[in-house]
Amino acid sequence: MTPRADTIADSITLALIEQEPAYLASSAPDIAGELRRSTREHIGQGLRTLSGLPAANDNTREVWRRTGRERARQGIPMELVLKAYTLGSRTLWEELMLEREQCRSSIDEHLLLVAGQQLWRALDSQYETLVEAYRQESARMQQRDLANVLEILDGLRSGRGGDPAFVIEARATLGLSASQQIACVVGPLDDQGSPPLPAPEDALDQIGAVSHWNTRDGHQFALVALGTGSWNSVVDSLAAQAVGPVGVAHSPEGVSSFAAAYRLAALTAETITEGSGVALATERLPRVIMAADHQSSELLVRHALGSLWTHPEPHRGTLLDTLAHMLASDGSPTNAAKALYCHRNTVIYRVRRIEELTGHDLTDPRDRLLLTLALVRTGHWTRAVGQGDSSTVRGSFNRMN
């Protein structure tokens, strides 16, 4: 049989490609030629071993190890590789039986039994050696791939999205198309260094969103590629996992504007001051704007609230709550009184006091805008009238115009 080793090997290669066409789907160049070469090498070694010809055992195992590493790099599933080894061993056994039946050589039953035992024992060793090499190479590849992903995320976060060559590399590494909708998710680590989202990938997988995660400078962040859902569905999925504040910001120009989206998402997370939660930047715009420039926002607070900001407690808190409800009620003392559970005249008296302390007129649209922004910045708007999302604040702004 040894002289026919290449012929037997080629028949195995053809049968393998016919039975498992997925082999040809590999991105490796000339995979059919590579299979033919590898199968010839394996069958030649196998027949030499069965024939009792010299064959270094260490070299044989190295062939199996090399094959495991190569198939992992080629992206061929392990089960297909194991099927190839099984097919090769079965074909050798069938050829051995055919050789005996045709009396081309005198093979007694005892010798046939020994050959069969040796053949299947070798298959077990092949499995063990190949699987270990395949898994080790897969782990190395995953580590390299992960390192590349983390490097790309760091680059996008630092502003390299303005480099066309880097953008092409980022899309290729992360598997993104030029038109892919993406967003940035950011949340600060807690005092123990734990992330605000313990298992975000699983939650996003359920809605068909692909995500890549990293941790840098005390923040957990990710690039999320939207599937068939909406950004609200991303927020809802992450909210079920959140144990800390998390901001989400759309990146309208894809990876090119990711750095800006990161800053917006981080600012959005800053606006979630109590407990945990996930919020879109567009749903907390007044707060995000105020958080973006601390110097200007502090100036606005001092200018808008005047001496009310330094007024003694508990009167200051009462007046600030009244101010928030008056602004949210479109300047109606009656509606504000209902929300505050007090008499309308009490609200009117407090409004006069507020106007004296702030120097602003609650009937003036510009003054009302300044006062609303000041309350948003200090957190009194949220405590007085709800979550302080953009719909509530936006409605207040619209009534001022």
Where along the chain do its domains lie? 2-145, 167-285, 293-400
Q: Which ranges constitute the DSSP H helices of 51-161?
A: 57-74, 78-101, 109-157
Over residues 216-261, the pLDDT tens digits come to 999 999 999 988 778 999 999 999 889 999 999 999 999 999 999 9
- CA-closest candidate to residue 393, choices 305, 351, 377, 236: 377
CB 362 within 8 Å of CB 348? no
Count of other CB atoms within 10 angstroms of residue 94: 11
Taking each helix axis from N to C end, the angle separating 57-74 and 78-101, rounded to the nearest 10 degrees, works out to 130
Least confident of 92-96, 173-177, 392-396: 392-396
Say how far apart CA 184 and CA 175 lie, in whole Å: 16
CB 379 within 8 Å of CB 386? no
pLDDT at 389 over 60: no
Over residues 334-376, the pLDDT tens digits come to 999 999 999 999 999 999 999 999 999 999 999 999 999 999 8
Q: Which CATH number fits domain 2-145: 1.10.1200, 1.10.490, 1.10.3470, 3.40.50?
A: 1.10.490
Run of H or E including 376:
helix 365-378
Say how far apart CA 206 and CA 96 lie, in whole Å: 52
| Cross-strand partners of 225 | 182, 210
Say how far apart CA 349 and CA 347 lie, in whole Å: 5
Greater pLDDT, 371 or 121: 371
Fold classification of 167-285 is: Alpha-Beta Plaits (3.30.70)
Greater pLDDT, 121 or 390: 121
Fold classification of 293-400 is: Arc Repressor Mutant, subunit A (1.10.10)
Q: What is the mean predicted confidence (pLDDT) over 192-201? A: 89
| Cross-strand partners of 246 | 278
Say how far apart CA 142 and CA 132 lie, in whole Å: 15
Residue 175 gets the label, from left (phi > 0), alpha (psi -120 to 50) or beta, of: left
With cut-offs at 50, 70 and 90, classify the pLDDT of residue 214.
very high
- CA-closest candidate to residue 268, choices 224, 229, 235, 302: 235
Buried-state track 202-238, b at ≥16 Cβ within 10 A, e below 16: ebbeebebbbbbbeeeebbbbbbbbeeeebebbbebb
245-251: strand order across its sheet:
210-216, 219-225, 182-188, 245-251, 277-280
CB 347 within 8 Å of CB 329? no
Radius of gyration of the chain (CA): 35
Cα 145 to Cα 68, 148, 188, distances in angstroms: 19, 5, 25
